[in-house]
């Protein structure tokens, strides 16, 4: 059992209380925020504190809103942090503070808007409309242009992904709109986290793991400014505690970011070469002995028993590409692993271990074993002979651990020095500190769509973290409460119901599709399993069909393989385009590979929108675009193309709170609610150590915005209803809507494991009889279910009314603490990960799966490999630079709600901040070379695609490398708004980067290019 932690803040509270008690009663009030708030401000005002939760970014910090009332006037005037939020711990950033500036922003969209007849898309010419009018307009256009489900492109930002995923995703699935694209994969979760997920199994959309900075002695941050000082408040708070306590911080970056500003050791690395540095650090840890001892010896039990380090791997040629590569020794069921093998040193024999399990302590029959990490040459020979008898193609056998040692052997600090320009002695020093100043942590980061090697970089850093510090422990990486709970429930269920439904003691996908037949609630399938399930259940269901796979592998005919799980079986655009490209690549017609796992990707959208994608001999071109809280024109390398695609589409609909660079191209804009306007459903606080839920209660309401979940409910009911009317299955629209609603309720209930009849009854009563919003019914149902669950956990009855009161008064409800959760469900010590092997995977099964389909690429080397950069590396011309980008702490990426926020703009315009946040950083020596003075206008041109260029102003500073320019990310919105700083006064990164993706998940590789800088006129 871990000791409960006392943060400095708690300690201060306590000591102040003691001190107060010793002096006067009035001073005692210092300890409590719950004093009568009216007394704090001018007498005569009635003041109320209302809890809420911030919606600017996925940190979702707890808020407390001070609402003032005087006479007939009521107004929220100030936002503070919410002390009941165990993750945010009562702290909020500048964005959080500016929530009211966003709420009252006169630019906000507060009613449905329909484009003025005769105006062009791209012009802000809209008329106000009612919701009904707007819905009818959309329906009319759908019918007029006969828009089929696969002809929609559904775009979603983080709200839809992290908060309302089951409701938005459920709507998309039900309406069979599988051309989904959004923030999660190519921009952030996928490209930054896949390397981590591949080794740990996490995936919970946002922050499934919490870094325990407070107890760490050494912190390593590679880029990742946005997830700490740039700013992610819940993390920054813990990070700040560590800094004050004196933890040693090493930052690797090309510039003095906010995080790098605090570094004790700052490694100003050559852009994009961080993977070489990480591999060299791993080399030092594994190969260079320190004081005669290894640097991981203390952690050997974890490595041996709870990772797949002792699992045997064999060297064999890829059956199609003929590349020599490594594979796990396993009996397979189709493409899935039934079991694994180890050398048992206890009994000196080959032992088989269970496919899905959290340990290697027993064989498949339950006998105790002692798995070997290294094989003697005699054993290797003996094993190889045995294996060869069954499969003569096998050339060698090793343990995963031995393979890891072999793979890292040549990645010496001296090798890395040549690539990174960081002296070998510094790399060695940092590696040794990481391994000895324990507990040490790597900040995993968010949002790293920069280089093709980002995924391997995060994987290697994860290997370092696991090898030195293990997993799920104090001072290291601790699994988030919500994710842990999901994994534990799934594991418990498997053990109770048996593994048979998935084919023995191993995992085989899909599990949760079709939703109707799933034995387990589809949406509750945890972690990477959920992703594999979606991929192999929805987008590529025919991967289970050996004939379809064989047709692709032998004849490069992918037509059967790519069919989707929809009734039309028409594939997702990205999947179709990827396989088309793979076929060309494998047949030698093209040197460009396709994309291995193009889930929720925009790969191939250019072909599709430009009429070059074909399916069954016919043009496969999207006709309609729907966007939910997303701004692709400003946030996507296809920015300029999105404008064109939206101009040409038959119908463009957005659901948003602010005018953006994108929704200015809409036909209809529907108003989303500001987070302070929401009467929300219960949501999980995924990024907390604890198991915590939260709810927003409306603070203030302006206009006619709808809650996202209500919107999806009504839209789905309407679309399905219209279809039923067309088919003659309903007598009028009212009946059709009710039937449509029933289908949606039934489907989402099944997906979430709700009691379908009960939920349906409740919704019909609240929505159709009482005229209340759908979210009311959802909340009521959730409360009841939560009360049951909490009662069970706490061992005493907790009534829904009690929970309701707590959630409305505090905003948050803690169900179980980290300590309680860690005691029973430590991953993988007590329960498995959500990877096919159930262990922490030093050799990734997921990457091996990709290798099976497409051959070996260093990008998905199952262990680790250096992925060279696809850009010019040396001999840069005088005006040529590497490029890097990042966001300022006061902004939320491409969200106009911060870019056009009067308070935020006021701060960013103050003195030097304007230069730092909006201008292009350049080193003084480079500026001198180009004859540039601080504040001069420049033109930045992409050297691979000169059509991509931007005009901006230069900020001359030694904070950035001489060979690199740093561009603040998307400050320069062109949305029709009043307050934002616009280009060229604010640099607009999206204009200078071109669409270039890596081959694993089509992650953007924005910075993998050089640019030319020229002086420009004002």
Partner 1 sequence: MENKNKLPNWAFVIDLNSCIGCNACMAACTQENQTPYWAEKFRTKVEQAELVKGDNVGRFFFPRLCMHCQNTPCYYACPTGATYKTPEGVVMVNQDLCIGCEACVTACPYDARYRYDYEDVVKNKELFGEEFSIHQVPHVDKCTFCYHRITKGLEPACVATCPTDCRMWTDLNNPEDPVAQLVLSGRAKPLAEHLGTNPKVYYIAPSSTKVEPVDMEEVYSAERGGKEE
Stretch 289-318 residues interacting with partner 1 (CB under 8 A): none
Strands 62-70 vs 73-81: parallel, antiparallel or unpaired:
antiparallel
Q: Which stretch binds partner 1 (CB under 8 A): 154-162, 175-183, 240-248, 447-455?
A: 240-248
Q: Which stretch binds partner 1 (CB under 8 A): 17-25, 361-369, 526-534, 980-988?
A: 17-25
Which uninterrupted H or E stretch holds 136? helix 131-144
> For residue 375, how many C-alpha atoms fall within 13 Å in the half-sphere facing its CB?
27
Q: Which of 286, 284, 294 is nearest to 431 (CA)?
A: 284
> Contacting partner 1 (CB under 8 A), which of 177, 236, 452, 932?
236
Q: Is 91 in the site for partner 1 (CB under 8 A)?
A: yes
**Burial grade of 293 (CB within 10 A; 0-12, 13-18, 19 or more):** exposed
Q: Is 910 in the site for partner 1 (CB under 8 A)?
A: yes
Q: Is 935 in the site for partner 1 (CB under 8 A)?
A: yes
Q: Is 1018 in the site for partner 1 (CB under 8 A)?
A: no
Q: Which of 284, 820, 981, 894 is nearest to 631 (CA)?
A: 894
At 928, list the tokens: 């001198």
Q: Is 116 in the site for partner 1 (CB under 8 A)?
A: no
**How many residues of this chain bind partner 1 (CB under 8 A)?**
89
> Contacting partner 1 (CB under 8 A), which of 51, 55, 62, 90?
90
Whole-number minimum distance, CB 19 to partner 1, in Å? 4
Cα–Cα separations (whole angstroms), residue 557 to 423, 554, 607, 868, 990? 50, 8, 19, 31, 36
Q: Is 12 in the site for partner 1 (CB under 8 A)?
A: yes
> For residue 874, how many C-alpha atoms fall within 13 Å in the half-sphere facing its CB?
4
Packing angle, helices 527-534 and 481-497, rounded to 10:
70
Closer residue to partner 1 (CB): 335 or 907? 907
> Contacting partner 1 (CB under 8 A), which of 84, 203, 266, 343?
266
Q: Give every CB contact of residue 305 below 8 A, 6+ residues apart in sequence.
A: 359, 360, 361, 371
Q: Is 105 in the site for partner 1 (CB under 8 A)?
A: no
Q: Is 916 in the site for partner 1 (CB under 8 A)?
A: yes
Phi and psi, residue 31, nearest 5°: -80, -15
Whole-number minimum distance, CB 253 to partner 1, in Å? 11
Question: What is the C-alpha separation between 412 and 225, in angstroms, rounded?
Answer: 27
Closer residue to partner 1 (CB): 92 or 114? 92
> Contacting partner 1 (CB under 8 A), which of 5, 9, 121, 761?
9
Closer residue to partner 1 (CB): 75 or 140? 75
3-state secondary structure of 764: helix
Whole-number minimum distance, CB 15 to partner 1, in Å? 5
Site for partner 1 in 664-683 (CB under 8 A): none
> Contacting partner 1 (CB under 8 A), which of 159, 223, 262, 810?
262
Q: Is 288 in the site for partner 1 (CB under 8 A)?
A: no
End-to-end, the C-alpha distance of the chain in Å comes to: 64
Q: How many CB atoms lie within 10 A of CB 118?
A: 6
Where do the DSSP E strands lie in 230-292?
A: 248-253, 265-268
Packing angle, helices 274-287 and 413-420, rounded to 10:
170
Q: How many CB atoms lie within 10 A of CB 795?
A: 6
Whole-number minimum distance, CB 434 to partner 1, in Å? 16
Residue 873: DSSP 8-state = -
* Total residue count of the chain as it appears in this document: 1018
Whole-number minimum distance, CB 447 to partner 1, in Å? 17
Site for partner 1 in 872-901 (CB under 8 A): 889-890
> Contacting partner 1 (CB under 8 A), which of 114, 228, 630, 741?
228
Q: Is 265 in the site for partner 1 (CB under 8 A)?
A: yes
Is 944 in contact with 1009 (CB distance < 8 Å)? yes
Whole-number minimum distance, CB 47 to partner 1, in Å? 11
> Contacting partner 1 (CB under 8 A), which of 320, 335, 876, 907?
907
Q: Which stretch binds partner 1 (CB under 8 A): 50-58, 89-97, 165-173, 839-847?
A: 89-97
> For residue 858, how many C-alpha atoms fall within 13 Å in the half-sphere facing its CB?
13
Residue located via tokens 């290294």: 374
Q: Is 630 in the site for partner 1 (CB under 8 A)?
A: no
> Contacting partner 1 (CB under 8 A), which of 244, 289, 517, 731?
244
Closer residue to partner 1 (CB): 579 or 675? 675
Closer residue to partner 1 (CB): 243 or 583? 243
Judged by phi (left if over 0) then psi (alpha if -120 to 50, else beta), residue 176 lies in left
> Contacting partner 1 (CB under 8 A), which of 155, 229, 573, 987?
229
Whole-number minimum distance, CB 413 to partner 1, in Å? 18
Whole-number minimum distance, CB 100 to partner 1, in Å? 7
Strands 339-344 vs 349-354: parallel, antiparallel or unpaired:
antiparallel
3-state secondary structure of 44: coil
Whole-number minimum distance, CB 90 to partner 1, in Å? 7
Q: Is 261 in the site for partner 1 (CB under 8 A)?
A: yes
Site for partner 1 in 18-77 (CB under 8 A): 18-20, 22-24, 26-33, 35, 39-42, 45, 68, 70-71, 73, 75, 77
Site for partner 1 in 552-581 (CB under 8 A): none
Residue located via tokens 């010793």: 22
Q: Which stretch binds partner 1 (CB under 8 A): 169-177, 254-262, 343-351, 690-698?
A: 254-262
Q: Is 259 in the site for partner 1 (CB under 8 A)?
A: yes
Q: Give every CB contact of residue 170 below 8 A, 6+ residues apart in sequence.
A: 523, 712, 716, 744, 747, 748, 751
> Contacting partner 1 (CB under 8 A), which of 178, 231, 669, 724?
231
Whole-number minimum distance, CB 189 to partner 1, in Å? 23
Quick one: CA dihedral 996, 1000, 1002, 1007, positive or negative?
negative
Order of strands, edge to edge, in the sheet holding 126-128?
126-128, 113-115, 668-671, 651-656, 624-628, 152-156, 180-182
Q: Is 240 in the site for partner 1 (CB under 8 A)?
A: yes
Q: Which stretch binds partner 1 (CB under 8 A): 95-103, 181-189, 296-304, 537-545?
A: 95-103
Strands 440-443 vs 218-222: parallel, antiparallel or unpaired:
parallel
> Contacting partner 1 (CB under 8 A), which of 141, 256, 341, 887?
256
Site for partner 1 in 939-958 (CB under 8 A): 957-958
Residue 851: DSSP 8-state = H
Q: Which stretch binds partner 1 (CB under 8 A): 78-86, 153-161, 336-344, 408-416?
A: 78-86
Q: Which stretch binds partner 1 (CB under 8 A): 234-242, 295-303, 435-443, 843-851?
A: 234-242
At 11, list the tokens: 């300690």
> Contacting partner 1 (CB under 8 A), which of 15, 143, 348, 587?
15
Whole-number minimum distance, CB 94 to partner 1, in Å? 4
Closer residue to partner 1 (CB): 623 or 915? 915
Q: Is 78 in the site for partner 1 (CB under 8 A)?
A: yes
Interaction mask 830-869, partner 1, x per CB under 8 A: ----------------------------------------
Cα–Cα separations (whole angstroms), residue 402 to 52, 200, 311, 375, 476? 52, 20, 10, 8, 25
Helices (H), 259-299: 274-287
Q: Give every CB contact of residue 623 below 8 A, 6+ residues apart in sequence.
A: 145, 147, 148, 151, 152, 649, 650, 651
Q: Is 92 in the site for partner 1 (CB under 8 A)?
A: yes
Question: What is the C-alpha separation between 229 and 94, in angstroms, rounded?
Answer: 12
Site for partner 1 in 952-1011 (CB under 8 A): 957-959
């Amino acid at each position: 059992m871990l000791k409960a932690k006392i943060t400095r803040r708690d300690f201060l509270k306590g000591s102040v209380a003691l001190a107060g008690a010793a002096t006067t009663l009035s001073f005692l009030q210092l300890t409590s925020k719950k004093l009568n708030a009216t007394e704090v401000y001018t007498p005569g005002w009635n003041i109320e504190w209302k809890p809420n939760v911030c919606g600017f970014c996925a940190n979702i910090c707890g808020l407390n809103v001070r609402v003032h009332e005087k006479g007939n006037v009521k107004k929220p005037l100030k936002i503070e942090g919410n002390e009941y939020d165990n993750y945010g711990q009562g702290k909020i950033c500048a964005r959080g503070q500016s929530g009211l500036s966003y709420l009252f922003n006169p630019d906000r969209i507060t009613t449905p808007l329909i484009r003025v007849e005769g105006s062009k898309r791209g012009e802000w010419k809209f008329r106000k409309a009612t919701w009904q009018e707007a819905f009818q307009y959309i329906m009319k256009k759908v019918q007029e242009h006969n828009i089929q489900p696969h002809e929609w492109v559904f775009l979603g930002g983080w709200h839809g992904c992290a908060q309302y995923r089951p409701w938005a995703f459920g709507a998309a699935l039900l309406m069979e709109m599988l051309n989904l694209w959004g923030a999660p994969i190519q921009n952030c979760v996928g490209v930054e986290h896949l390397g981590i997920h591949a080794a740990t199994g996490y995936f919970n959309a946002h922050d499934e793991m919490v870094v325990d900075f407070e107890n760490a002695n050494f912190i390593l941050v590679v880029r990742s400014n946005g997830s700490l000082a740039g700013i992610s408040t819940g993390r920054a708070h813990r990070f700040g505690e560590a800094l004050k306590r004196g933890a040693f911080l090493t930052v690797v970056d090309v510039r003095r970011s906010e995080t790098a500003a605090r570094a004790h050791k700052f490694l100003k690395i050559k852009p994009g070469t961080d993977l070489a540095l990480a591999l060299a650090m791993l080399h030092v840890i594994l190969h260079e002995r320190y004081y005669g001892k290894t640097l991981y010896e203390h952690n050997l039990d974890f490595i041996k028993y709870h990772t797949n380090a002792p699992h045997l791997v064999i060297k064999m040629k890829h059956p199609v590409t003929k590349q020599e590569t490594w594979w796990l020794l396993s009996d397979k069921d189709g493409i899935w692993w039934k079991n694994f093998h180890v050398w048992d040193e206890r009994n000196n024999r080959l032992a088989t271990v269970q496919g899905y399990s959290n340990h290697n302590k027993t064989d498949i029959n339950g006998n105790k074993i002692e798995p070997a990490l290294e094989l003697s040459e005699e054993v290797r020979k003996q094993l190889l002979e045995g294996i060869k008898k069954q499969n003569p193609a096998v050339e060698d056998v090793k343990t995963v651990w031995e393979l890891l040692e072999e793979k890292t052997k040549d990645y010496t600090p001296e090798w890395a020095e040549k690539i990174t320009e960081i002296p070998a002695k510094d790399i060695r020093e940092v590696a040794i500190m990481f391994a000895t100043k324990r507990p040490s942590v790597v900040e995993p980061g968010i949002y790293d769509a920069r280089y093709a090697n980002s995924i391997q970089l995060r994987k290697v850093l994860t290997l370092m973290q696991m090898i030195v510090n293990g997993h799920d422990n104090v001072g290291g990486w601790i699994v988030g409460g919500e994710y842990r709970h999901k994994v534990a429930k799934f594991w418990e269920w498997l053990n109770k119901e048996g593994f048979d439904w998935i084919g023995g003691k191993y995992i085989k996908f899909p599990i949760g599709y079709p939703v109707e037949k799933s034995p387990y609630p589809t949406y509750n399938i945890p972690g990477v399993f959920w992703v594999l399930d979606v991929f192999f259940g929805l987008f590529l269901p025919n991967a289970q069909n050996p004939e379809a796979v064989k047709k692709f592998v032998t004849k490069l005919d992918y037509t059967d393989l790519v069919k989707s799980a929809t009734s039309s079986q028409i594939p997702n655009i990205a999947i179709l385009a990827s396989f088309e490209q793979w076929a060309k690549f494998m047949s030698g017609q093209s040197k460009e590979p396709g994309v291995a796992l193009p889930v929720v990707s925009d790969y191939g959208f250019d072909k599709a929108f430009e009429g070059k994608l074909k399916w069954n001999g016919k043009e496969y071109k999207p006709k309609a675009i729907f966007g939910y809280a997303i701004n692709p024109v400003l946030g996507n390398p296809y920015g300029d193309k999105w404008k064109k695609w939206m101009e040409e589409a038959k119908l463009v609909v957005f659901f948003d709170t602010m005018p953006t660079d994108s929704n200015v191209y809409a036909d209809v804009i529907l108003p989303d609610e500001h987070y302070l306007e929401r009467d929300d459903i219960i949501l999980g606080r995924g990024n907390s150590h604890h198991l915590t839920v939260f709810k927003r209660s409306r603070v203030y309401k302006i206009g006619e915005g709808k809650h996202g979940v209500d919107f999806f409910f009504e839209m789905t009911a309407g679309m399905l209803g219209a279809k039923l009317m067309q088919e003659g299955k309903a007598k009028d629209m009212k009946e059709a809507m009710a039937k449509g609603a029933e289908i949606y309720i039934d489907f989402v209930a099944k997906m979430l494991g709700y009691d379908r009849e009960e939920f349906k009854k409740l919704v019909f009563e609240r929505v159709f009889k009482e005229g209340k919003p759908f979210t009311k019914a959802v909340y009521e149902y959730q409360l009841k279910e939560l009360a049951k669950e909490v009662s069970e956990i706490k061992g005493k009855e907790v009534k829904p009314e009690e929970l309701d009161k707590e959630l409305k008064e505090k905003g948050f409800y803690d169900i179980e603490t980290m300590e309680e959760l860690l005691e029973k469900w430590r991953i993988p010590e007590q329960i498995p990960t959500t990877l096919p092997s159930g262990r922490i995977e030093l050799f990734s099964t997921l990457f091996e799966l990709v290798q099976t389909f497409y051959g070996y690429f260093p990008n998905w080397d199952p262990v680790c490999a250096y992925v060279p950069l696809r850009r010019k590396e040396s001999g840069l011309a005088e005006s040529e630079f590497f490029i890097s980008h990042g966001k300022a702490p006061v902004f939320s990426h491409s969200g106009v709600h911060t870019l056009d926020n009067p308070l935020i703009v006021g701060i960013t315009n103050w003195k030097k901040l304007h230069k730092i946040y909006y201008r292009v950083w350049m080193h003084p020596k480079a500026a001198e070379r180009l004859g540039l003075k601080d504040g001069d206008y420049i033109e930045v041109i992409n050297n691979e695609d000169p059509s991509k260029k931007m005009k901006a102003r230069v900020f001359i500073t030694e904070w950035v490398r001489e060979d690199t320019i740093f561009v603040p990310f998307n400050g320069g919105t062109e949305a029709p708004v009043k307050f934002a700083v616009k280009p060229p006064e604010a640099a607009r990164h999206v204009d200078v980067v071109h669409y270039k993706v890596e081959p694993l998940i089509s992650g953007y590789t924005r910075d993998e290019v050089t640019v030319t800088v020229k002086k420009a006129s004002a």
